[in-house]
Structure 1
Amino acid sequence: MAFLITAPLTNVTVAADSLTTLPPVIVTANRIAEAETQVLAAVTVIERADIERQQAHSLSDVLRGVPGITIAQSGGDGHPLSVYLRGTNADHVLVLIDGVKVGSATLGTAPLHNLPVDQIERIEIVRGPRSSLYGSEAIGGVIQIFTKRGGGKLTPTVSISGGDLATRGAAVGISGGGDHGWFNFSANVKRTDGINACDGQPSPFAGCGVNEPDRDGYRNVGVNLRAGYRFNPAVQFDVHLLQSDNESEFDGSAFAGNRARATQQVVGTTVTLKPRDWWTVLLSAGHSWDQHRSFFADPAAGVAEHLNNRYETERDTLSLQHTVTLRADQQLTVGVDYLNDQVASTVNYAQDSRHNVGLFSAYHGQFGATDLTVSGRQDDNQQFGSHATGNAAVGYRFDNGVHVDLSYGTAFKAPSFNDLYFPNYGTATLKPEQSRSWELGISGALPLPPLLAKGGGGDFSTAAGRWEARLFRTDIDDLIVYDAASWSAANLASARIHGLETTAAARLFDLDLRASVTLLQPENRADVADQDGNLLPRRPEQTLQLDADRQFGRWSAGATLFAAGRRFDDVANTTRLDGYTLLHLRTEYALTKAVTLQARLDNVFDENYETAYLFNQPGRTVFFTMRYAPTSGD
């Protein structure tokens, strides 16, 4: 399922003149490069500048507060991170790195907590079903991470960071390539002594199941290599490699281990051909490797470290895609994907490999003020046979700039190897989970208040920013859950999720302001007396984030307020996790055009909260960063 479009990516600055700035180009939503304003889907683009403005130290920092996203983490840095997109399960999110599908075929999720944020150039998040283009897993949506690409003048970068919890890190890189080529080489290292991950109890059904009150550290080492060349307008290629080596401590036992070592590696290449001006061919291949090993060590008892478990996933992907421009405002895309999963483990799986072939097509057309997108896909999987999915969306732009779109899509999720074959749990006859989703979106420009508009006379035609609201509903059938009667996985449950996402961004009084609110009703529809109508676990019904930043010459300052409502940790809704509010402050000073100093104070009020029962989150912490990043003119 590998693909990559090496199109120029343009950022948009939310400012008073934003209507004349080119919007970002999105490649994830429909597998072709298109302006964000033409995409009939809910998308969020996070650029490198946004990551550095937030002074984010992990992907959880970056993703927290994105509309429609809820995160739950079993401890601090380096501990398992679950991402719920629009209230769907954590394994209902497809994760791509530079077009290559990544993740564990045994767990069914991607180890986002181990991806080094220093190697990320851009993130595109598409909310809503995308199986009609990508196949399995994209019930909730797609998160695609693009690594640093390079290009232009030879440029070195360096950053050094440190702070509370004995956290320290460094990242170095060099990039360039001139006008027709691009390359980037960068590396990072991060260490932290961490927090006590879990306030466990002896019961195996409470948190981590043990009482091991110590600090659980984390180490991450990442390397990114990427290069490409455009020989002429008709031929270009791109190659990339990302590797992340990690070691984390957690509260565990001799049975489950208390230390983990993990490696993620993604390598891929894409060749882009244009035989004619109206015809583009993408041929890509990728390989991802996910390995997790757990150990147990107890120095106090004189127990040496020994191997407990090993889980390893290898994924090979091939893709051929043709895009034909029928007219200036109409495009047709057809393609085929091949995916082969292989697992190796100290656990004996009845089957350890499977392959999938997917045929897909999509049509995009503009008819005056009306946009139309239709896509469909047929997947043939070695385990579950054939499965068809589709998506249709129509949008209309009014003369005043307000845009309305309506879409319907189906999606599915193939059972993971654990669901099918894990000893004393898996059920080989499981069916794929299936979903149906409706979505209504409306967006437009935010007018300036009368006193701020040009001339001071209430010229509301001048925009201060933009706003968007999206109402959606998703029904999921054949949900895979644990069946207590048979002590195994089964297709017993269903879910209905209603939601509303609202976002706004504007520049007023020299302040860059951003706001997002997500309201969810993630309802369990299981035919079980104590579960039907309950909230799905670990998903709050309300989340809110407010951001404000301002520049003062060489200084800049900002604040983020994040709030989440109550949630439950179990399907019976008996274990309640209280809502919480976090305030983060940040400041930055430019010593020169190339050297900046940053400081960030997290959880200002030292809020004590949990996103997973009995698993702790960091209290008040402060971090510092010195960054050297010259621009092309320096």
Structure 2
Amino acid sequence: MKTTLTLLLALSAAPAFAQANPDQPATDADGNTIVVSASRSGDAVPIDLTGASVTVIDDQAFNLRQTRVVSDILRDVPGVAVSRTGGIGGQTQIRMRGAEANQTLVLIDGIEVSDPSSSEYDFGLLVADPDAHIEVLRGQQSSLYGSDAIGGVINYITSTGAEAPGVSLRAEGGSFGTFNGAARVAGVKGDLDYALSSTYLHTNGFPTAEGGTRDVGSDNVGLSGKAIWTPAPNLKITAVGRYSHTNADTNDSDYTGTTVDSPGTHFRANAFYGLLRGQLDLLDGRFTNAVTAQVADTKRTGFDVADPYSPRDDQPIEATYGTHGRRIKGSYAGAFHFGTDAIKQVATVAVDAQRESERTTISQYGAFLGWRHTNNVGLVGEYDVTVHDRLAFGASVRHDWNNRFGDPTTYRVQASYKLDTGTRLHAAAGSGVKDPTFSELFDYYAGQYIGNPGLKPEKSHGWEAGIGQTLLGGKVSLDATYFDNRLKDEITTTYTATGSTSINLPGHTRQRGVEVSASAKLGDGWRIDAAYTYLHAPQPLSVTLDPATFLTGTIDVQGLRRAKNIASVNIAWAPPHKRFTANLGVRYNGPQNDQFFATFPGTLVRLHGYTLVNIDATYALTDRVQIFGRVENQLGEHYEDVYTFATAGRAGYGGVRVTF
């Protein structure tokens, strides 16, 4: 196996290949919602024939809710919790079904985009493109994607030229000195489908330190391009490129652990993602072969005073930390379609070979500044069958060979059945794995943290079962799902008299809950989307029980930054052939736990629940010119996603959009 591993990694020395097909549309020819992330075959699967829990947020929802920061619209997805340190550009984490933020796999146009340094994607870097949509696939998906997909998969997909042709320009301004602009050029010319887009978001920001006066702002730039060339009916070549740049202010904590004004402190993040995919269909389209190559390269540098405990008014601002992460990945997926029109079957074999690399570029503490590497090869087998477009069953298994950790085998089975009454039963069960991050293994901060190279991968097993119902000829859809997961060898931070380190917890933790969703597309352009999540996810947490005596201990509490109750509802009116559209969005986040590090370990604190009300409206002056406006946090809620980080109050924005 060592020889095979070496050979496959050598073949992947060029930028490697994607796992999800980036050129599939969001709907089929009949307008039915389809998903591509639920299978490695490269085929789009109807959402009502998927046993797993999937939510698709389409481009209309993006437009009606005037989404500018992608993490905001993810608050409307069942099972998803969002936390951001202050304003736009602040670190933004997504937790699914109680899993940690680094246990969710994130794809952008099929490219795995997590930073190998932290093995996590910071959603604070992602500004929404014009005409995009998202697939959120919940539950363990390691049998398809390998490490990281314990909580699920988020696949952010930009539209092709065929889906949204033409030229569009958008400019808006508003509260906190904010300006946002976007441009897109797309279309089809002969056998070439192309789409180019750019986004820019600047904000002066607002004080994120409670009681502070320093505005914490950011600049975000995004450039993306997608081209699909079809030189023959059975041959398709897809290329994707993406660049993002963020320069964002940050605030530090003082010696009491409280966020304070920190003039000049900021970070810069630059990322490049690239993908090349070729698909050749043989045997009259029954045998598809896809070879994909992708690369992700992320650099992050933080600028702070040389000594974080010195007065800030007489200390120079300089680079105090930096990381550089790179991932190259190569994949082959072959899918053989057989059976009849009544019984459709697909057998898929996929091979992934990837190399993740990371290095610390700047350290105040004498950390190792060289490269570290992890090599992995995964072999996937998958079988799917659909009977009379009513019963669907799928099973997948994956084995990984890893040069640093063990060689895990993961699995998944799922099924869906539609009754004549419009009722749909669906269920799934599977396992997941999450390799320790480079940070957990090797980070070094003198007197504060020392990595643990002996960590084992985290492992998860779980199941879900749900029931859905369509009404009024499919115009209304309801669904309720119960899930139950168990996480073994969970990695957590433990504290000693000389600092802290990461360890694997003994035993297991359990995450279970209920997800409910409802959607309705009614007459005269009315659209309603609603979601509710109940989550019970206790975990052992090391805390200071009594700051006066420094008494410490371990308690079982609901996981940090995971509210037990989260809900949202969006009511939109977008009548066809009318000039005016509007959307009312209400998002509720229940009380949740966090940790306050005035002592080490920190003390447990409680963040109160909050409700955000947003109002969005658009008016078409002509067929090509629209003006729009929105008010966010209409109620002026004062709340925190992360303890001692203030968030925005009521804010208003307005702008114009022109299409050609």
Q: By the TM > 0.5 criterion, same fold?
A: yes
Distance 1:273 1:383, change over 3 A: same
Q: Does residue 353 of the first structure (1) align with residue 373 of the second (2)?
A: yes
- Residue matched to 2:598: none
Q: Does residue 613 of the first structure (1) align with residue 643 of the second (2)?
A: yes
Partner SS for 1:539: coil
**Deviation for aligned residue 1:438:** 0.8
Q: Does residue 335 of the first structure (1) align with residue 354 of the second (2)?
A: no
- Structure 1: which 5+ residue stretches go unaligned? 13-19, 201-211, 448-461
Distance 1:308 1:274, change over 3 A: same
303-312 or 437-446: which moved more? 303-312
Tell me how far apart the structure 2 counterparts of residues 387 and 354 of structure 1 sit (CA, whole Å): 15
Pick from 5, 12, 19 the counterpart of residue 3 of structure 1: 19
Distance 1:475 1:532, change over 3 A: farther
Distance 1:52 1:377, change over 3 A: same
1:355 maps to a residue whose letter is N
**Deviation for aligned residue 1:474:** 0.7
- Residue matched to 1:434: 459
- Residue matched to 2:31: 22
Q: Does residue 270 of the first structure (1) align with residue 266 of the second (2)?
A: no
- Residue matched to 1:289: 297
567-576 or 353-362: which moved more? 567-576
Asked if 1 retains the 8 angstrom alpha-carbon contact of 2:26 and 2:58, the reply is no
**Deviation for aligned residue 1:35:** 1.4
2:562 maps to a residue whose letter is R
Pick from 301, 306, 309 the counterpart of residue 321 of structure 2: 309
485-494 or 63-72: which moved more? 485-494
Q: Superposition pairs for residues 383-532 of structure 1, below 5 Å?
A: 383-423=404-444, 424-447=449-472, 462-485=473-496, 487-492=500-505, 494-508=508-522, 510=524, 511-524=526-539, 531-532=554-555
Q: Does residue 324 of the first structure (1) align with residue 349 of the second (2)?
A: no
**Deviation for aligned residue 1:173:** 2.2
Tell me how far apart the structure 1 counterparts of residues 312 and 83 of structure 2 sit (CA, whole Å): 32
336-345 or 116-125: which moved more? 116-125
- Residue matched to 2:54: 43
Asked if 2 retains the 8 angstrom alpha-carbon contact of 1:148 and 1:224, the reply is no
Tell me how far apart the structure 1 counterparts of residues 100 and 628 of structure 2 sit (CA, whole Å): 36
Q: Does residue 557 of the first structure (1) align with residue 600 of the second (2)?
A: no
* Matched positions, count: 598
Tell me how far apart the structure 2 counterparts of residues 488 and 189 of structure 1 sit (CA, whole Å): 39
**Deviation for aligned residue 1:466:** 0.8
**Deviation for aligned residue 1:178:** 2.7
Tell me how far apart the structure 2 counterparts of residues 56 and 432 of structure 1 sit (CA, whole Å): 36
Distance 1:495 1:519, change over 3 A: same
Tell me how far apart the structure 2 counterparts of residues 10 and 432 of structure 1 sit (CA, whole Å): 34
389-398 or 570-579: which moved more? 570-579
Distance 1:595 1:111, change over 3 A: same
**Deviation for aligned residue 1:47:** 2.2
Tell me how far apart the structure 2 counterparts of residues 74 and 125 of structure 1 sit (CA, whole Å): 23
When the two chains are superposed, the root-mean-square deviation of aligned CA atoms in Å is 2.5
**Deviation for aligned residue 1:396:** 2.1
Query: What's the CA shift string for 1:191-228, capped at 9, x where partnerless?
Result: 1011112339xxxxxxxxxxx64111100111112212
- Residue matched to 1:205: none
Asked if 1 retains the 8 angstrom alpha-carbon contact of 2:455 and 2:503, the reply is yes
Q: Does residue 149 of the first structure (1) align with residue 163 of the second (2)?
A: no
Asked if 2 retains the 8 angstrom alpha-carbon contact of 1:151 and 1:181, the reply is no
Asked if 2 retains the 8 angstrom alpha-carbon contact of 1:434 and 1:476, the reply is yes
TM-score (norm: length of structure 1): 0.89
Tell me how far apart the structure 2 counterparts of residues 146 and 10 of structure 1 sit (CA, whole Å): 9
- Residue matched to 1:108: 119
525-534 or 470-479: which moved more? 525-534
**Deviation for aligned residue 1:48:** 2.3
Tell me how far apart the structure 2 counterparts of residues 232 and 198 of structure 1 sit (CA, whole Å): 58
Query: What's the CA shift string for 1:353-375, capped at 9, x where partnerless?
Result: 11111100110012454321100
Tell me how far apart the structure 2 counterparts of residues 150 and 254 of structure 1 sit (CA, whole Å): 50
174-183 or 138-147: which moved more? 174-183
Tell me how far apart the structure 1 counterparts of residues 372 and 491 of structure 2 sit (CA, whole Å): 20
- Residue matched to 2:14: none
**Deviation for aligned residue 1:252:** 2.6
1:30 maps to a residue whose letter is S
Q: Superposition pairs for residues 126-145 of structure 1, below 5 Å?
A: 126-145=137-156
Partner SS for 2:118: coil
Distance 1:106 1:297, change over 3 A: same
Percent identical residues: 26
Distance 1:152 1:137, change over 3 A: closer
Asked if 2 retains the 8 angstrom alpha-carbon contact of 1:545 and 1:563, the reply is yes
Q: Does residue 577 of the first structure (1) align with residue 585 of the second (2)?
A: no
Tell me how far apart the structure 1 counterparts of residues 106 and 574 of structure 2 sit (CA, whole Å): 35
299-308 or 153-162: which moved more? 299-308
- Structure 2: which 5+ residue stretches go unaligned? 1-16, 256-261, 544-551, 596-600
Asked if 2 retains the 8 angstrom alpha-carbon contact of 1:172 and 1:188, the reply is yes
TM-score (norm: length of structure 2): 0.86
Tell me how far apart the structure 2 counterparts of residues 417 and 342 of structure 1 sit (CA, whole Å): 9
Query: What's the CA shift string for 1:514-567, capped at 9, x where partnerless?
Result: 211111101115799954541000100001111111136211122011111110
Asked if 1 retains the 8 angstrom alpha-carbon contact of 2:50 and 2:416, the reply is no
184-193 or 618-627: which moved more? 184-193
Partner SS for 2:102: helix
111-120 or 556-565: which moved more? 111-120
Distance 1:527 1:313, change over 3 A: closer
Q: Does residue 623 of the first structure (1) align with residue 631 of the second (2)?
A: no
- Residue matched to 1:226: 226
2:380 maps to a residue whose letter is F
Pick from 373, 379, 398 the counterpart of residue 394 of structure 2: 373
Asked if 2 retains the 8 angstrom alpha-carbon contact of 1:337 and 1:359, the reply is yes
560-569 or 505-514: which moved more? 505-514
Asked if 2 retains the 8 angstrom alpha-carbon contact of 1:534 and 1:573, the reply is no
Asked if 2 retains the 8 angstrom alpha-carbon contact of 1:42 and 1:127, the reply is yes
Query: What's the CA shift string for 1:96-124, capped at 9, x where partnerless?
Result: 11212111222221021111212662211
Tell me how far apart the structure 2 counterparts of residues 564 and 247 of structure 1 sit (CA, whole Å): 29
Pick from 132, 150, 170 the counterpart of residue 121 of structure 1: 132
- Residue matched to 1:451: none
- Residue matched to 2:623: 593
Distance 1:297 1:184, change over 3 A: farther
Distance 1:495 1:152, change over 3 A: closer
Q: Superposition pairs for residues 88-99 of structure 1, below 5 Å?
A: 88-99=99-110
Tell me how far apart the structure 2 counterparts of residues 435 and 253 of structure 1 sit (CA, whole Å): 34
1:142 maps to a residue whose letter is V
1:316 maps to a residue whose letter is I
1:62 maps to a residue whose letter is I
Partner SS for 1:177: strand
Query: What's the CA shift string for 1:423-461, capped at 9, x where partnerless?
Result: 2421111110000111001112024xxxxxxxxxxxxxx
Asked if 2 retains the 8 angstrom alpha-carbon contact of 1:120 and 1:147, the reply is yes
**Deviation for aligned residue 1:508:** 4.5
Partner SS for 1:534: strand
1:224 maps to a residue whose letter is S
Tell me how far apart the structure 2 counterparts of residues 286 and 426 of structure 1 sit (CA, whole Å): 29
**Deviation for aligned residue 1:151:** 3.6
